[in-house]
Structures are given as structure tokens and as C-alpha cells.
Amino acid sequence: MGRHWLVKVSSKEQALFWWVHRRWARHWLDRVMAALTHLGSLWSCLGIGTAMWALPTGRPLALATFLSVVTSHLPVQLLKHLVHRPRPYFVLKGYRALVTPLMDYSFPSGHTTAAFAMAGIFSSLGWPVSAVAWLLATLVGVSRMYLGHHYPLDVLTGAVIGTLASFATRAFVLA
């Protein structure tokens, strides 16, 4: 385990994790969250980017989405290897096993990063698309806690990294 200060989980962060992970627990919500979380997966990002590439005017948006997701994951992978924060299910007792445990580190959330990296690009499309994109990105982050993969700080940091990457990408690709 790393010696970085971010490895430590505060009591407030644990309380928020448990509130989402256990207090919200509903059988029907288990399935919804398991589906939502995949919107931040590599395969979803590739699928969405490919679908946009196929549209006549979608190529700049597809390129921006791809670059945003890729550039956002450079700091994510660096932080995971520097911080070494274990995932909640390896540390906390009382975890509800909803999914197969991942073996890599928890900080920051890659799924949340990808979802926010895409949302920031889609926000260039105007009000309705922007609102849906940010809502879905937020739900991906919540799903990561609900399923027990991440602590709140992992999700918040992923959201910030993804958002910053998307705005930087928009400035260069969609300007």
C-alpha cells in the first residue's frame, strides 16, 4: 500500500460512501447502477465515438471525444500508480458484493473521468444534449460508489480531471 496522504479515507468520506452504497440499496437500483456504470467504460467511449464518426457532421465531435477521453486518462493512470489507494471492498467491512472486484487502484475513478470527458465535449451541442450528458456523467460517478468500486474523493477527482480535459480539448479541436 502506498504511503501517500490520499490513501487515507476520512470518516466523512466513509460516511458518504456508506450512505450511497448501503442506504440507497434497492434490488432494482442494483441493476440500473450496473448498467449506468458502463457508460464510462472504454467500450462505451469507443462505441459512442465510432457512432459519431459515422455521422456526416460528427467527425470533429468524435475526434474531440476520443482525444478528451485519452488525454484525461494519462493523469488518471499516473495518479493510480502514485497514490495506490485500495478499493473500498478490500478495506471496508460490510461491503455489498454487487460486481466482480477490480484489482487496480481506486484513486481516481477512470469511469467517472471518461464520462465527464465525454460530457464536456457533448456540452458543446447545446442545452438539451448538454443537460443529459452532465446528468449521465454524474450518475456514472454515483454508480461507482453505489457498486462499491470507489470512494467519493475518487469520483470527485475523476469528474474534475475529465471536465478539465474536455474543456482543453474543446479549445483546441472544436474552436
- pLDDT tens for each residue of 89-148: 998 888 887 888 899 999 999 999 999 999 999 999 999 999 999 999 999 999 999 999
pLDDT at 19 over 50: yes
- Grouping H, G, I as helix, E, B as strand and the rest as coil, residue 41 is coil
Would you put residue 113 in left (φ > 0), alpha (ψ -120 to 50) or beta? alpha
pLDDT at 3 over 70: no
Cell 454515483, located at residue: 142
pLDDT on residue 1: 47
Cell 446528468, located at residue: 135
| Rg of the chain, C-alpha, whole Å | 16
pLDDT digits (tens, 9 = 90+) for 39-83: 999 899 989 989 999 988 889 999 999 999 999 999 999 999 999
**Cβ atoms of residues 138 and 79 within 8 Å:** no
The per-residue pLDDT of the chain, averaged, comes to 93
Cα separation, 19 vs 40, whole angstroms: 22
Cα separation, 20 vs 152, whole angstroms: 10
**Cβ atoms of residues 48 and 61 within 8 Å:** no
The full set of domains in the chain, from first to last, is 28-173 (1.20.144.10)
* Percent of the chain surpassing pLDDT 70: 98
